[in-house]
């Protein structure tokens, strides 16, 4: 029976160990971007630390194996359980030491986890377990635990509990293993009462943290964003936060500002109207991204538009901007218009499996700060978009800043030209973002910017439109290579451009 208890504990501790690794990777990706870099370096640091921990496990005396196993469970439960909360608070209130804290905590957790399995194997070996049975059972339950968490984390835990509360949950599981081990092997352990008290104290800390996780997250995000948070949720795809200060409502995705209600009209007028004003015959429009419905609001002002399909990956995004009163006011209840069809799906997969044709395509994705987003700015993706665009139709792409991220901006231009599109780059000044860029493209038509608008505009007129298509010397075109899917040079260009701005 005692052997089965030890083997079953391997399943739990393996689950916890992988959970802490996933939490660190997801949190750093949310906060720092470039998910491939974050997960790669965290996995490398974690595995190295496990090796260090496994090495030092040999210095544990045979008679102390169970006692040290209990101590390590309490240590990894405390450090791992608190890791997400500590990292989030560090980034929110003390951004400078975040990377140092991140890798320090990853290393500590990894070292503790690296000691767990060797100690369990030694404990089983002391109970005269055959070596082949010992190795096979321990590794089987170790891998099963990893499999369970790798499935549950993205599908259930992260979107339901959030990263901070998930960390506390797995910390409690580690402490549960410690308490279980103390209870089952109490005759073999010294100072049982003291160990039970320590385990109970750690458990209390984690339970309190779990109970107040939402308040901790809210406090941390208040430090990060400054304004009052009116809505926040973690989805399987991203972290959405909406803030308000006086009459200014702002949307952040993974900590990056998407719009400010004070000046978003500049961005969305510039995104939509240079296209649709020149297509009075257009009836069908495709919007890729734009789950806030603000571009949709501008499109629906044209009465000749008969149908709009909006494809956005995250249903939490479109639901919030369909149901929350203050957000519905911003997009003028655009999702309730009978001409609108909303599809929650990956844009690339939807394009690949759909045959619909459109007169205009509005591409309004977040900036290419990760490889998951970078694929939506690649040669294959734009090739698929072109197949859905009428020969004399127009498309426009949100293309980052030609001033702050010029290499990224002109890489997008080169990518569109690579698929045979004629491109017409332009830019607009949006106070919340600074100088921002768009690229209009067409398969065959010749484009001339409008000199007037049929609809009343808050920002656009003949003069501003003319100036948008003129690039001053400090935003001159750069000779860039297209963004191909296998290399995703755009993500690297984008990161380096903004790194130069921060410096």
Q: What is the pLDDT of residues 136-171, one digit of tens each?
A: 777 787 788 888 888 888 888 887 888 888 999 999
Residue 58, CA distances (Å) to 54, 64, 115, 462 in order: 7, 11, 9, 77
**Edge-to-edge order in the sheet of strand 422-430:** 340-343, 307-311, 284-289, 358-364, 389-398, 434-442, 422-430
344-377 pLDDT, tens per residue?
A: 999 999 999 999 999 999 999 999 988 888 999 9
- Chain CA centroid to CA 465, Å: 34
- Given a cut of 60, is residue 209 above it in pLDDT? yes
pLDDT for the residue numbered 134: 62
> Which are the contacts of 43, defined by CB distance < 8 A and separation ≥ 6?
21, 25
434 touches 267 (CB < 8 A): no
314 φψ region: left (φ > 0), alpha (ψ -120 to 50), beta (else): beta
CA-to-CA distance for 289 and 310, rounded, in angstroms?
7
How many CB atoms within 10 Å of residue 496? 13
Residue 186, CA distances (Å) to 85, 96, 192, 193, 453 in order: 33, 45, 6, 9, 82
Integer-rounded Cα radius of gyration of the chain: 27
pLDDT for the residue numbered 117: 84
- Given a cut of 90, is residue 410 above it in pLDDT? yes
**Burial classification of residue 301, based on how many CB atoms lie within 10 Å of its CB (0-12 exposed, 13-18 middle, 19 or more buried):** middle
267 touches 428 (CB < 8 A): yes
pTM for the full model?
A: 0.76
217 touches 233 (CB < 8 A): no
Active site residues: 364
Lookup: tokens for 200: 């109970």
Residue 272, CA distances (Å) to 43, 236, 362 in order: 42, 29, 7
Confidence of residue 39 (pLDDT cuts 50, 70, 90): confident
Rounded to 5 degrees, what are φ and ψ at 350? -65, -45
How many CB atoms within 10 Å of residue 188? 15
Q: Which DSSP helix (H) or strand (E) runs through 421?
A: none
- Given a cut of 90, is residue 283 above it in pLDDT? yes
> Which are the contacts of 108, defined by CB distance < 8 A and separation ≥ 6?
49, 79
103 closest CA partner among 12, 174, 202, 32: 32
361 touches 376 (CB < 8 A): no
Query: DSSP characters for 398-419?
Result: E---TTTSHHHHHHHHHHHHHT
Walk me through the domains of the chain, giving residue ranges and CATH numbers: 2-212 (1.20.1250.20), 222-258 (no CATH), 263-502 (3.40.50.150)
Helices (H), 397-474: 406-418, 462-468
Mean pLDDT, rounded, of the chain: 89
pLDDT for the residue numbered 45: 93
């Amino acid at each position: 029976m005692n052997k089965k208890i030890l083997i079953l504990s391997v399943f739990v501790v393996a689950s916890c160990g992988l959970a802490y690794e996933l939490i660190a990777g997801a949190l750093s990706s949310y906060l720092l971007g470039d998910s491939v870099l974050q997960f790669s370096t965290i996995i490398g640091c974690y595995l190295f630390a496990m090796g260090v921990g496994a090495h030092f496990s040999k210095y544990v005396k045979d008679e102390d194996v169970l006692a040290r196993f209990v101590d390590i469970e309490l240590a990894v439960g405390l450090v791992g359980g608190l890791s997400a909360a500590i990292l989030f608070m560090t980034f929110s209130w003390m951004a400078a030491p975040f990377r140092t804290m991140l890798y320090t905590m990853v290393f500590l957790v990894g070292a503790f986890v690296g000691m767990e399995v060797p100690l369990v194997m030694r404990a089983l070996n002391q109970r005269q377990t055959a070596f082949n049975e010992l190795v096979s059972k321990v590794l089987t339950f170790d891998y099963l635990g990893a499999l369970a968490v790798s499935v549950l984390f993205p599908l259930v835990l992260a979107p339901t509990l959030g990263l901070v509360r998930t960390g506390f949950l797995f910390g409690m599981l580690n402490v549960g293993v410690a308490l279980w081990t103390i209870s089952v092997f109490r005759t073999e352990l010294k100072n049982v009462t003291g160990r039970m008290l320590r385990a109970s104290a750690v458990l209390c800390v984690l339970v309190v943290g779990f109970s107040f996780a939402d308040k901790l997250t809210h406090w941390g995000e208040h430090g990060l964003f400054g304004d009052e948070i009116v809505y926040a949720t973690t989805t399987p795809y991203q972290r959405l936060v909406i803030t308000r200060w006086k009459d200014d409502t702002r949307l952040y995705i993974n900590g990056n500002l998407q719009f400010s209600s004070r000046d978003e009209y500049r961005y969305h007028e510039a995104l939509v109207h240079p296209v649709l004003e020149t297509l009075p015959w257009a009836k069908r429009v495709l919007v890729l991204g734009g789950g806030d419905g603000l571009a949709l609001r501008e499109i629906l002002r044209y009465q000749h538009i008969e149908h709009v399909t909006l494809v956005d990956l995250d249903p939490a995004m479109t639901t919030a901007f369909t149901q929350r009163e203050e957000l519905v006011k911003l997009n003028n209840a655009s999702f309730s218009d009978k001409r609108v069809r909303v599809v929650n799906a990956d844009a690339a997969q939807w394009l690949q499996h759909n045959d619909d044709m459109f007169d205009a395509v509005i591409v309004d994705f977040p900036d290419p700060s990760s490889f998951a987003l970078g694929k939506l700015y690649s040669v294959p993706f734009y090739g698929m978009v072109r197949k859905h665009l009428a020969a004399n139709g127009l498309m426009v792409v949100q293309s980052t800043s030609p001033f702050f991220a010029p290499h990224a901006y002109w890489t997008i231009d080169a990518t569109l030209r690579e698929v045979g599109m004629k491109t017409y780059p332009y830019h607009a000044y949006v106070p919340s973002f600074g100088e921002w860029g768009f690229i209009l493209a067409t398969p065959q038509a010749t484009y001339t910017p409008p000199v007037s608008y049929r609809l009343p505009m808050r920002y656009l007129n003949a003069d501003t439109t003319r100036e948008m298509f003129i690039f001053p010397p400090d935003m001159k075109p750069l000779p860039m290579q297209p963004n191909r899917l296998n290399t995703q040079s755009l993500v690297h260009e984008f990161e380096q451009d903004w790194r130069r701005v921060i410096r």
